[in-house]
Amino acid sequence: MTLDIAFAGIVNGLMSGGIYVLVAVGLTLIYGVLHIINFAHGSMLMLAMYGVYYLFKPPLGVDPYVALPILVAGSFAFGYVLYRGLIGRFSHGKDENILLITLGLSIIADNAALFFFTGDTQTIDVAWAGRFVEVGPALIPMPKLVSFVASLALCAALGLFMAFSDTGKAIRAVAKERQGARLVGIDVENIFAISYGIGIACLGAAACLLMPFFYVSPSSGHAFVLVAFTIVVLGGMGSFAGALVGGLLIGIVESLGGLQFGEQLGQIGIPLVFILILLFRPVGLFGSR
């Protein structure tokens, strides 16, 4: 592998990593607060992608980037209501119940998508999709560059929200000490629902950024779930910084591995890095005991 190719590979990896970050941030937020793995994450991403597709389709014709605030708000509302109306209500406060409910939601969402949208693959074709930016030997298609920059910007915005807003502080308080937060008057159930809503809102944003260069079908969300789980664990469960660094790291490892060992064998780089990091730092890169 020449230096030029390695450089282009790293750039490609960073572009992919940007999207992984956004998907993983939602997952890690939900884990950090609710202490459960959201098994419905891939299915929710798929539903959001259908949302982008139908907004783009005539007669609405909404550009996916213009649709971003709509999808973020809509996904937040959907996640919030879903938690309030279903997950929170039927979990009876037990984490294992939440786990099973999200698993059930995933199955229902996938099959509902097959039922309503059929198994057909849908894409959107935006006029600027063919533009690109040259960075040395790397050629970056415009949709991927936009998705990378927007992902990092959204992560930064979310980080600021968590650090400085009252709601963000309440979320962090609930994540650290549920009982204590309740004692100081925080509506813990509401914070759970808000956290779940924000996690799903991240997927709404990811869907808008993905659709100009990816596709949606009832199973397309799952392509990102396993890698997002890996990033969350590798970065440290519940850690924003971990999701950010982990996402970019996994993107680069996947890309360079693919270039060096081929697209199939190159995938081995992800579990290899995963095992190595957990071997020396069992709580993940930024995790705490």
Partner 1 sequence: MSGSIRSTGLSRRRIGQSALGLAAGTLAFPAILGAQAKAVKVGLIHPVTGFVAYNGQQNRLGATMAIEDINKAGGIKSMGGAKLEALLGDSQSKVEVGVSEVEKMNEAGVAAYIGCFQSPVAIAATQAAAKYNTPFLIDVAASDLIVKRGLKNVFRMKPGFGKCVDDGIAALGALSKGAAKTAVIVHENGEFGTGTAKLLAGKLPLIGIEAKEIIAHENPTRNFDNAALRIRTAAPDIVMMSNYGNEYMLLARTLFQQKVNVMGMFSVLGGGFNYKFVKEMADVSQYMMDTNHWYNPRSATAQALKKRVEAAGSLFTFEVYLSYTAVSLLADALERAGSAEKDALTAALASSTFKADLMPYGPTKFVDGQNQGGVPGVMQSLKGEIEVVAPAEFSSATAVFPRPKVS
Site residues, partner 1 (CB under 8 A): 5, 8-9, 12, 15-16, 111, 114-116, 118-121, 123, 125, 129-130, 132, 139, 141, 143-144, 213-215, 217-220, 222-224, 227, 255, 258-259, 262-264, 266-267
Nearest-approach distance from CB 24 to partner 1, in angstroms: 14
Are residues 174 and 192 in contact, defined by beta-carbon separation less than 8 angstroms? yes
CB nearer to partner 1: give 36 or 109.
109
CB nearer to partner 1: give 192 or 254.
254
Nearest-approach distance from CB 173 to partner 1, in angstroms: 36
CA distance 13 to 9: 6
Nearest to 210 by CA among 52, 59, 74: 52
Residue 60 CA, distance from chain mean position: 26
Nearest-approach distance from CB 248 to partner 1, in angstroms: 15
Nearest-approach distance from CB 31 to partner 1, in angstroms: 22
Tokens linked to 235: 């970065």
CB nearer to partner 1: give 37 or 210.
210
Nearest-approach distance from CB 254 to partner 1, in angstroms: 8
- Give the DSSP H/E element, type plus range, for residue 139: strand 138-141
Nearest-approach distance from CB 27 to partner 1, in angstroms: 16
Peptide bond into 59 cis (omega under 30): yes
Sign of the alpha-carbon dihedral angle for 149, 81, 28, 217: negative
Beta bridge partners of 132: 141
On the CB side of 141, how many CA atoms lie within 13 Å of its CA?
15
Backbone angles phi, psi at 135, to 5 degrees: -120, 95
CB nearer to partner 1: give 90 or 128.
128
Distance, first Cα to last Cα, the chain = 40
CB nearer to partner 1: give 179 or 264.
264
Which one-letter amino acid corresponds to residue 6? Answer: A
CB nearer to partner 1: give 140 or 198.
140
